[in-house]
Amino acid sequence: MDVFALSLAQADFPQPMHAITLYHYLLVSAVMFCLGLIGFVTRRNLIIMFLCTEMMFQAAGIAMIAFGRFYLDYTGQVFVIFVLTVAAAEAALALALVVLLFRRKESLDGTAWAVLKG
Amino acid sequence: MQLDSVISPFILYGLIALGGVGVLLALPRERFSLALPGYIVGSAAGGVILLFLFFASQDPDPAAFAGPEVADAPLGVIPNPYFYAFALLGLAAAMRVITHPKPVYSALYFILTILATSGLFLILSAEFMAFALIIIYAGAILITYLFVIMLATQAPQEELVENQPEYDRLAREPVAATAAGFVLLAILSTMLGRGVPVLTMDESAFEGDQLLAQLPTRIERSLREEYALDEGVGIRPIERIAREITATGPDGPFLVDPMTRTVVVEVVNDAGDGARRTVAWPADLAITNPEGVGWELIKAHPGAIEIAGVILLMAMLGATILARKQIQLDEDAKRDMAMARSGIGGGGSRAGDSEEETD
């Protein structure tokens, strides 16, 4: 049993994949997700924290499109459209909140709002 | 264990640990910055993993590739250098995003990550998503982020990192967070190699022709273009794709046959009894990526589109209402805040008590 059973190289739809397998894409996706996770936990700037969540969205998008390509199915791409929608809505709301919080304390420090944890 | 055939698990874990050390070094810290060695160590670890993947996929034994198409490919397989370029670029930029002490630079590096990701999407032949990603993410969302960063960041007097606020200069729990993240990565990369043993690909699952059969005007347009180039083929201007004749007249479904890739066309006349003939589709007629995505979107997820529209509307309203809320600080709160910022006295915690809100 071989990992290249996961071969993405499917004839010529629309262009051959040439030895790049699903595993390659999933690994890139996993690395990017973990970097986003580390960034979310370690950075204290609210804006950078939200930027890191967007990075995790990207990683999920890579995985979904790679799976969609593997199954020659458009559902993965359609799902990424909805992820983009949610990301846009989240960015608008989160940034409005960040501006509001910044006006109160003149600081983007996430720990300045530690009082919220109750 | 399938992972063995690509890379020894211990080497993989070693490299992942090395990458973790690199990220840990690169995270912003107090005194002296170890960012540069961190970047070098991290990129080296990522690069070596990609190199292993590269050489593993150079396997000269075509039988190692389960896909029958690859087994038929002459003389091994050609590597796709763009994947490695985009992957390394994207991950290196992602590392810069989470480690750069200046938020503006982080956002700009995130744009680089997005560009690399859309490059990967292009290789995966998801052209529509690749360009949508650039337009929506890099063009709209990230610009909003940059606006807010510039709005909410005090202009530093000099370009020195020491002038950055403390929350940008110091990472929170760097060791624990990096360890947790990279342990997760090690587990994920193992599971990716063994938890998904064989993903067989059913080629008949791709219904490009069936999908085209749902779009008769698309076929008709392409046939008319073919006629415009060469009058011997395609359909003449006086013809159109015929419908099946039912009891009430020729108003049944369009006569399109995806199996033989043919359509039945008829001469247009008022009586509706024009001569019919069968015409083959143009040989190069294929569904394009935006057509496929759009069709899937409309056919399978019509409700989700409506919900997405409502979400966007709510986000717009919410953001507008949130952003126009005025916050006025009275004199005490301002003084407390100034003291807290300059480090004299711990007045910061009291700042919240004497605020007034107006709408």
Per-residue model confidence as pLDDT tens digits over B102-147: 888 999 999 999 999 999 998 888 889 999 999 999 988 999 899 8
3-state secondary structure (DSSP) of residue B254: strand
- B80 interaction partners in chain A (CB closer than 8 Å): 17-20
Question: Which of B54, B59, B125 would you mutate first to test chain A, the one with the most A CBs within 10 A?
Answer: B125
The pLDDT tens digits for A61-97 are 999 998 888 777 888 899 999 999 999 999 999 999 8
Gyration radius of chain A over CA positions: 19
| pLDDT score recorded for residue B270 | 67
User: Of A25, A51, A92, A40, which Cα lies nearest the Cα of B114?
Assistant: A51
**Which residue is closest to A100 within chain B, CA to CA?**
B323
- The single-letter DSSP state of residue B140 is I
pLDDT in tens, chain B (359 residues): 356 666 677 888 888 888 888 888 888 877 667 778 888 888 888 888 888 777 766 554 444 444 444 444 433 445 567 888 899 999 999 999 998 888 889 999 999 999 999 999 988 888 899 999 999 999 889 998 998 888 887 666 556 666 677 777 778 888 888 899 999 988 888 877 665 444 455 555 566 677 788 888 888 888 888 888 887 787 888 888 888 777 777 777 888 888 778 888 888 776 656 778 888 888 777 778 888 888 888 888 999 999 999 999 999 999 989 888 777 766 777 777 777 666 554 444 444 444 444 44
Is the distance from CB of B145 to CB of B107 less than 8 angstroms? yes
| pLDDT score recorded for residue A53 | 93
Number of H helices, E strands in chain A: 3, 0
| pLDDT score recorded for residue B341 | 65
Q: Is the CB of residue A83 less than 8 Å away from at least one CB of chain B?
A: no
| pLDDT score recorded for residue B131 | 93
How many CA atoms are closer than 13 Å to the CA of B324, on its beta-carbon side? Answer: 6
The pLDDT tens digits for A12-71 are 444 444 556 777 888 899 999 999 999 999 988 889 999 999 999 999 999 999 888 877
Residue B327 parent element (H or E): strand B326-329
| pLDDT score recorded for residue B93 | 94
Contact B129 A61 (CB under 8 A): yes
The separation between the first and the last C-alpha atoms of chain A, rounded to the nearest angstrom, is 53
What is the rounded distance in angstroms from the CA atom of residue B83 to the CA atom of residue B66?
21
Is residue A11 over pLDDT 80?
no
3-state secondary structure (DSSP) of residue B355: strand
Contact B337 A105 (CB under 8 A): yes
Which residues, including other chains, have CB under 8 Å from residue A54's CB and lie 6 or more apart?
Answer: A36, A87, A91, B110, B137, B141
Which residues, including other chains, have CB under 8 Å from residue B14's CB and lie 6 or more apart?
Answer: none
Contact A41 B351 (CB under 8 A): no
Dig out the tokens for B248 from the structure: 């009430």
Looking at this protein, which amino acid is placed at residue B222? Answer: S
Q: Which of residues 21-80 of A touch B (CB under 8 A)?
A: 21-28, 30-39, 41-45, 47-48, 50-52, 54-55, 58, 61-62, 65-66, 68-75, 77-78, 80
Question: Can you give the three-state secondary structure of B187-243, one letter per residue?
Answer: HHHHHHHHCCCCCCCCHHHCCHHHHHHCCHHHHHHHHHHHHHHCCCCCCCCCEEECE
- Residue A112's region, left for phi above 0, alpha for psi from -120 to 50, else beta, is alpha
3-state secondary structure (DSSP) of residue B73: coil
| pLDDT score recorded for residue B3 | 60
Q: Is 0.90 surpassed by the pTM of this model?
A: no
**CB neighbourhood size of B343 (10 A):** 9
- B198 interaction partners in chain A (CB closer than 8 Å): 1, 5-6
| pLDDT score recorded for residue B151 | 83
